[in-house]
């Protein structure tokens, strides 16, 4: 089986100097070098062809994100620097917290915003409305890179369906699973996996899709976007009580039509290879296989690695091959979408191990 990678150099346009965490500025960790190491490993280990994305425009992005949020993403950096904001990027310091919800909110009449004065909150107010942490740094070039990452995911979805490949890797950067319909956070701006999933279901009419999110962190954005729907099924394995802190409990099971179609598996800090593979196999057999998905979208983060500077699980490089094999055992065509992973020296080998484990384990 051949595994195709989609990749765009435009990710390099997103290269913030710093992020804000624990009350300090420190070097930005979600660096272009991450993806450069991955593409290098793909080439040296002959994973398969590497192709450039097509441009599908904004319409597929707007099926997931609101128009006012996309407009914010496009204009935020210019508006911020115009008023004398930090040229290294947009860092909100006023926050549109839930208590500001206004009963007579003008925008809520349009069924959109919960706040009276947003999205017109002005150049200082808007960032605190559309951003929930200090690591989703919008710098010069961030919009172009995020736009292209969504196009990489969309191209991956098209290839998976039309080229009859059983595996496609969308090498997206910036990542996406923390982005909500109108919120950036956790290094994420557009939810690439969600955009590809909507495209698979609505445009390519593939039937049922399961999202399997194996990034170290809970994919709060993907969960929120699909929380009221039974297609896709969303399944996440992640470290318990870690970032993004407010979501990821097993009690979050979906609502309305989506009841029962959101599955969270929080894992204790320090989880190692054996327990991880056991938990993955268990949820795959009990929840994903019975759903009989036609396609699977894997939110692939390797921040579960033992030496990851951000994460706190202890998976080894060899174990990523097993993870790929376990996913392959579903015999379901898979779109892998790159999410997190910050141990730069090992990131290429870890990612390619998952993909090779899948490629070589797949039988249709």
Q: Which parts of this chain interact with Zn ion (CB under 5 A)? A: 215-217, 301, 303, 340
Instruction: Please identify which residue in the block is written with the tokens 């099971």.
Output: 253
- Give SS3 for 233: strand
360 burial via Cβ count (<10 Å: 0-12, 13-18, 19+): middle
Give the per-residue contact string, 159-178, with ligand SP5 (x = CB under 6 A; - = no). ----------------x--x
Which of 92, 121, 123, 117 minimizes the C-alpha distance to 102?
A: 117
Q: Residues 127, 340, 348, 357: which binds ligand SP5 (CB under 6 A)?
A: 340
> Closest CB to ligand SP5 among 301 and 324?
301
CB 243 → ligand SP5: shortest distance, Å? Answer: 4
16 binds ligand SP5 (CB under 6 A): no
Catalytic residue among 178, 180, 199, 217: 178
308 binds ligand SP5 (CB under 6 A): no
218's contact among ligand SP5, Zn ion, none, with CB below 5 to 8 A by partner kind, is none
243 binds ligand SP5 (CB under 6 A): yes
> Closest CB to ligand SP5 among 312 and 361?
312
**Please, how many CA atoms are within 13 Å of residue 252, restricted to the half-sphere of its CB?**
21
Active site residue 199: no
252 binds ligand SP5 (CB under 6 A): no
180's contact among Zn ion, ligand SP5, none, with CB below 5 to 8 A by partner kind, is none
Name the maximum alpha-carbon separation found in the chain.
59
Euclidean distance between CA atoms 176 and 152, whole angstroms: 12
Distance of CA 18 to the CA centre of its chain: 21
Tell me the sheet residues that pair with 299. 213, 337
Site for ligand SP5 in 70-109 (CB under 6 A): none
**Number of other residues whose CB lies within 10 A of the CB of residue 78:** 11
226's contact among ligand SP5, Zn ion, none, with CB below 5 to 8 A by partner kind, is none
CB 358 → ligand SP5: shortest distance, Å? Answer: 21
- Provide the b/e sequence for 95-107 (b: ≥16 CB within 10 Å): ebeeebeeeebeb
CB 21 → ligand SP5: shortest distance, Å? Answer: 6
Euclidean distance between CA atoms 229 and 211, whole angstroms: 13
Question: Which amino acids are annotated catalytic?
Answer: 178
Residues that bind ligand SP5 (CB under 6 A): 21, 135, 175, 178, 186-188, 215, 217, 243, 301, 303, 310, 339-340
């Amino acid at each position: 089986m051949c595994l195709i990678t989609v990749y765009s150099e435009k990710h390099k346009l997103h290269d913030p100097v710093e992020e804000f965490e624990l009350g300090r500025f420190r070097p930005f960790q979600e660096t272009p070098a991450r993806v450069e190491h991955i593409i290098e490993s793909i080439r040296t280990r002959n994973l398969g062809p590497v192709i450039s994305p097509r441009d599908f425009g904004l319409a597929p992005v707007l099926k997931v994100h609101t128009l006012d949020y996309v407009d914010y993403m496009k204009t935020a950096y210019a508006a911020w620097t115009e008023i004398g904001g930090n040229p290294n990027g947009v860092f909100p310091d006023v926050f549109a917290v839930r208590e500001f919800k206004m009963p007579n909110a003008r925008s809520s009449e349009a069924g959109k915003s919960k706040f009276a004065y947003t999205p017109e909150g002005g150049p200082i107010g808007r960032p605190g409305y559309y951003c929930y942490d200090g690591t989703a740094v919008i710098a010069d070039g961030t919009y172009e890179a995020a736009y292209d990452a969504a196009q990489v995911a969309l191209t991956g979805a098209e290839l998976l369906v039309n080229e009859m490949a059983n595996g496609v890797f969308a090498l997206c950067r910036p990542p996406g699973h923390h982005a909500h319909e109108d919120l950036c956070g956790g290094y994420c701006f557009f939810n690439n996996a969600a955009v590809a999933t909507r495209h698979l279901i609505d445009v390519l009419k593939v039937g049922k899709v399961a999202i399997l999110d194996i990034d170290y962190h809970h994919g709060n954005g993907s969960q929120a976007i699909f929380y009221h729907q039974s297609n896709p099924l969303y399944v996440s394995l992640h470290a318990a009580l870690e970032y993004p802190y407010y979501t990821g409990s097993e009690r979050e099971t979906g609502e309305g039509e989506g009841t029962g179609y959101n599955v969270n598996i929080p894992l204790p800090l320090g989880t190692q290879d054996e327990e991880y593979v056991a938990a993955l196999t268990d949820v795959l057999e009990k929840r994903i296989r019975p759903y009989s998905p036609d396609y699977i979208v894997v939110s692939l983060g390797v921040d579960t690695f033992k030496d990851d500077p951000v994460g706190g699980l202890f998976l080894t490089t060899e174990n990523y091959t097993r993870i790929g094999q376990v996913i392959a055992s579903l015999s379901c065509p898979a779109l892998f979408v790159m999410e997190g992973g910050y141990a730069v020296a090992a990131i290429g080998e870890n990612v390619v191990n998952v993909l090779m484990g899948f490629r070589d384990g797949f039988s249709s």
